[in-house]
Amino acid sequence: MNFTKRILVTGGAGFIGSHLLRLMVEKYPQYQLINGDALTYAGNLENLSDIESAPNYVFEKLDITNAAQVGVIFSKYACTDVIHLAAESHVDRSIENPLAFLTTNIIGTGVLLNQCRQSWNDDKSHLFYHVSTDEVYGSLGETGYFTESTSYDPRSPYSASKASSDHLVRAYYHTFQLPIVISNCSNNYGPNQFPEKLIPLMINNILHEKALPVYGDGTNVRDWLWVGDHASAIDTIFHNGELGETYNVGGDNEMKNIDLVKMLCKLVDKKLGRAEGTSEKTIRFVEDRKGHDHRYAIDASKIKHDLNWTPAVFPIEGFEKTVDWYLENTKWLNNVTSGDYQEYYKKHYT
Ligand code: NAD
Ligand code: DAU
């Protein structure tokens, strides 16, 4: 088949990447989607089992820090575009082991940029789309919003590595005129998120009647966005974003951590038929995260006005869908918490 685009999606076996791939594989049969993923603890091909035999989808085990491997994929598929999501993504892990974050998030991005420059020469019909985070802007007080012109002020090894990669991407645009676009998104939630992140961790612990660790006093604020809405924003920016531009993506849905955790307790208790208040009793205020950013809040007016994108899923609906998914997919939860999901790769791909 003659595909009109051959898009390398890095990190496609992860949380956001798998939702993006499903959307694009189904919506664009004329594109070939190449999922290049190293399958770290966060990458799980089970997330994509429903599309793995689609004629326009292919998986390639790929470590983006390995220039030779990246070169092979570019030669094999003549990639026309890259949507770059592969990263070490969990802040707590970056505090324990910063170097892994510098390697994957900075060097890995550099390797991809170099390959694109080499393969695409000066042809502007290509696109390197870098998926980044609102954490590059630092921490807000009680008021204000991050806009695209907010100065960078990353404060964790994770956010510093993402900020660094954003700068590299812009440097390739200004120095080499590589066609790029960047988006910086707020906290995503939904199915298939690894249960180290706040929402799935809490649902899993509530399910197993374990303590619910809330960092500090629980007043930190995050702006939550349904993962499918992030995928639709990426689709919109990929097709209509202006070269060299940055777009902030957010859910207009700020919540204090403690309020979010209490809401999850209520939702899960209700679904499991437990007495109201049962799980709330297991909330424990624990030692704060080092350098814990107080508040993130996104001003997404640019993507709304310029590209006509808006979140489609209301938070109440999204949180309920998320809880339902985890309660219905306890096998998935057990697999990823025990490491058994690596078996899926061995069985289906080797
Ligand atoms: P994730 O941790 O769920 O998935 C990351 C994926 O990258 C995994 O499949 C993993 O196997 C892969 N990967 C890691 N190192 C690799 C390497 N060296 N080579 C190839 N693949 C590798 O992450 P996520 O939450 O889906 O985030 C995806 C991207 O979106 C990241 O760049 C992250 O910074 C960004 N982002 C995430 C959020 C969020 O709320 N989760 C918000 C904004 C931006
Ligand atoms: O803002 C976008 C970012 O959101 C992404 O770039 C990151 O990849 C993603 O992991 C996420 O980062 P956070 O640090 O905000 O997400 P996390 O789920 O780890 O934590 C959310 C909030 O909950 C944060 O204030 C810390 C707190 N927390 C987290 C955990 C895991 C707790 O109170 N207890 C916990 O056990």
Q: How confident is the model at residue 122 (pLDDT cuts 50, 70, 90)?
A: confident
Tell me if 131 CB under 6 Å of ligand 1: yes
What band does 343 get if pLDDT is binned at 50, 70 and 90?
Answer: confident
pLDDT tens digit sequence for 294-306? 999 999 999 999 9
Q: Of 319, 346, 321, 341, nearest to 331 (Cα)?
A: 341
Q: What confidence tens digit (pLDDT) does each residue in 197-217 have?
A: 999 999 999 999 999 999 999
Rounded to the nearest angstrom, the distance between the alpha carbon of 198 and the centre of ligand 2 is 6
Q: CB under 8 Å, gap of 24 or more: what pairs does 58-63 form?
A: 58/32, 58/33, 58/34, 59/12, 59/13, 59/35, 59/349, 60/34, 60/35, 60/36, 61/37, 61/349, 62/10, 62/36, 62/37, 62/38, 63/38, 63/108
What would the mean pLDDT of 322-345 be, rounded to a whole number? 87
Say yes or no: CB of residue 229 within 6 Å of ligand 2: no
Q: From ligand 1's centre to the CA of 266, what distance in Å?
A: 30
Q: Of all protein residues, whose CA lies closest to atom 29 belonging to ligand 2? A: 198
Looking at the CA of 94, which ligand is closest?
A: 2
What's the mean pLDDT in 309-313?
A: 97
**CA–CA gap between residue 31 and residue 27 (Å, rounded):** 9
Mean pLDDT, to the nearest integer, of 232-257?
98
* pTM, entire model: 0.98
pLDDT in tens, 258-307: 999 999 999 999 999 999 999 999 999 999 999 999 999 999 999 999 99
CB distance 87 to ligand 1 below 6 Å: yes
CA angle at residue 306 from 303 to 310, to 5 degrees?
45
* Span 73-105, pLDDT tens digits: 999 999 999 999 999 999 999 999 999 999 999
- How far, in Å, is the centroid of ligand 1 from the Cα of 274? 35
Q: Using CA atoms in the order 103, 100, 128, 148, what is the torsion angle rounded to 10 degrees?
A: -110
Strand partners, 82: 8, 128
235 is catalytic: no
Q: How many Cβ atoms from other residues are within 10 Å of residue 220's Cβ?
A: 21
* Domains of the chain in sequence order: 5-189+226-253+291-315 (3.40.50.720)
Mutate to test the pocket of ligand 1, among 34, 73, 85 (most ligand atoms within 8 A of CB): 85
Considering the candidates 31, 129, 137, 158, report the single residue annotated as catalytic: 158
Q: Is 135 a catalytic residue?
A: yes
- Residue 306 pLDDT: 98
Work out whether strand 127-133 and strand 81-84 pair parallel, antiparallel, or are unpaired. Answer: parallel
Cβ atoms of 135 and 92 within 8 Å: the answer is: no
